[in-house]
Amino acid sequence: MKVGTDGVLLGAWADVRPGCSVLDIGTGTGLVALMAAQRGAGRVTAIEIDTAAAAQAARNAAGSEWPDRIEVVAVDIADYKSDTLFDRILSNPPYFRDSLRSPDTGRNTARHNDTLSYETLVKCSASLLAPGGLLCVVLPYDAVDEFMRHAQLAGLCLARRTDVVTAPGREPKRSLLAFGTEYVQSVTDVLSMRDDDGNESVRYVELVKDFYLKY
């Protein structure tokens, strides 16, 4: 899978603090895990059900500046066990439902959510979050209500939401959501990737500039 805007947005937006422990569920080729390490996370565990993608993620981690802080595990999240809890859990989950599939099995695994349902993701995350921890995800805008129902049933509370639009006045295409184990007054805003003139917006560039060589 190529580097996508969704993963970059999640990796840049999530509240990753220096020294915190991070679990990246469905890491693909390791993008979000690498971004978490770049931002100073102390321990990053990246899990991936597809063995070929996990092997690529491991190679990418080994070739990075943070090989000692990233562990890649080829496992289904439903079977994953950990002796410790995580301060942050990040996921860019599969989002296609009942749609045409590609002949590429790995691509299907990454994009179709029959391999990782929202219910499974939320339940497993709730059991692996440390007190005060956050689950941060990027989702299609039209999947937010469903995901929030599962989060509520799992005892997680919305802490922060950013709806992403391509340009001012457009309908949101994606939402970035952060759920915590404790109730707080949630904050909601909108991120426009481009301004009225069609240029990349100042806020978008400020968010992602540390992760693109072009900036």
Domain chopping of the chain, boundaries: 5-210
What φ, ψ does residue 96 adopt, rounded to 5°?
-85, 135
* pLDDT tens digit at each of 215 positions of the chain: 567 899 999 999 999 999 999 999 999 999 999 999 999 999 999 999 999 999 999 999 999 999 999 999 999 999 999 999 999 999 999 874 544 434 544 444 444 345 689 999 999 999 999 999 999 999 999 999 999 999 999 999 999 999 999 999 999 999 999 999 999 999 999 999 999 999 999 999 999 999 999 88
Judging by beta carbons within 10 Å of its beta carbon (0-12, 13-18, 19+), is residue 113 exposed, middle or buried?
middle
pTM comes to 0.90
CATH homologous superfamily for 5-210?
Vaccinia Virus protein VP39 (3.40.50.150)
